[in-house]
Every structure is written in C-alpha cells, then in structure tokens.
Amino acid sequence: MLADWRAAVEQGESRRRRGICTAAEKFYEELKQSVVDADTDTDTDTVEFTFRTYEPAQEDTEARLQKIIRGIKDNNKKKLELQGVLGIEFVNIKNTYIKKKCGKHVASTDMYQFINCMACTKLNDIKSFYKYINDVTSYSRDYVTYFIRIANLCRVYPKLLYATVSSDDMHKFFSYVARKIEVDEDFWHNTCV
C-alpha cells in the first residue's frame, strides 16, 4: 500500500513537471515569435533610455532608478529593453559595493563575471546593496538578480531587446529561456533592425 501511495505521488509530480515544461516551451515560442513580429512592426515607441546607448548614472542614482521604473510601467513594447537598462544600473551600483574580488576575478574587467560570483559576494557587504535597492525601488533580491541577468542576456543576445512578452512569465521561465537562447544562439545574436 505504501508503494502505491509513493507511485501516485511521483506520477502526480511527473505530470506537474511536464505541465511546467510545456508552459515554458510555449512561452519560449511566444518569445521568439514576438521578436519576429517586432522585426516587421513599423510602429516604434520612443523611450528615454535605450539599452545600446545607456550610460549608468554617476550621481543621483535614486532619481534615475525611479525614471527607469516609471518607463517600465508605462511602456509595453520596450519593457524588456528597459528591464535590461535597469539591470545595467543595478550592476553599476552593485559594483560600487564590491571592494574585494576573489582570486578568480581579481584581474577581470567584465562586471557580469564577478558581480554574481559567490566568492566575491562573500568577501563584500552585498546585503547592504540589496537593502539599498529595496529601499529605493521596493524590488526584492530575486528581482534585482533577475534584472541583472536580463541585462547580461540582452548584452550577449541583442535580438532579445525586441521581445514583447509578459514580464511575469519571463521571470517565471527565465532559467529555461536562458538555456534555450544559448541553444538557439544564431537566432538571438542577429539584431532585428
């Protein structure tokens, strides 16, 4: 009887995992299609900050963060691009909190390499960074990390900047999407415009 119960639970979990994978696959196809549609869309939204030309704030980062967040809320077509811009700003601010780097990243100039390194994080007071960001933006550590990862993904795969999909779904399926983008890297490296 105990074996039957375990088998039923395992089977239920297996169905649930399959459902999540199917939803992630469907979302990824929607993501790719939104980029293809953006390629043929002539309607362009203008935004104050663009990913390719963005320079992080040197002063008054709080005001800049609030402007970007307002842009994300107000602009549906460029939401992912603005999230990438917000990620760049977070990386720049987080970099100011990193005073020491681990042996692996001492000579690294690529901030995205050491910004999320566990060893570098342990050497520095990163908790105060997340507290500061939460106080200014109300974003949790999870979302801050998500925006930083979006920025890095957009930097490596520029076609992602043209995607117009649900932010909640992008956050939910991010790990799956990141793996699939790496597999389909030829598609994502080319820019639409």
Return averaged pLDDT per consecutive 10 residues of the chain, 193 residues in all: 52 52 90 75 66 90 94 86 94 90 84 82 90 96 94 93 88 94 89 56
How much is the pLDDT for 42? 45
108 — phi, psi (to 5°)?
Answer: -75, 135
How far apart (Å, rounded) are the C-alpha atoms in residues 36 and 137? 32
87-109 per-residue burial string, b: 16 or more CB within 10 A, e: under 16: bbbbbbbbeebbeebeeebeeee
166 near 172, Cβ under 8 Å? no
Kindly calculate the radius of gyration of the chain based on its CA atoms and give it in whole angstroms: 19
State the burial class of residue 134 (Cβ atoms within 10 Å of its Cβ: 0-12, 13-18, 19+): middle
Would the CA dihedral through 168, 173, 175, 181 be positive or negative?
negative
How much is the pLDDT for 9? 45
pTM of the model: 0.82
How much is the pLDDT for 32? 92
How much is the pLDDT for 66? 95
State the burial class of residue 82 (Cβ atoms within 10 Å of its Cβ: 0-12, 13-18, 19+): buried
Cα 15 to Cα 2, 24, 27, 159, 169: the distances in Å are 20, 14, 18, 33, 20
Cα 44 to Cα 11, 13, 47, 72: the distances in Å are 48, 44, 9, 15
How much is the pLDDT for 107? 84
How much is the pLDDT for 38? 58
30 — phi, psi (to 5°)?
Answer: -60, -40
- In the three-class reduction of DSSP (H, G, I as helix; E, B as strand; rest coil), residue 177 is classed as helix
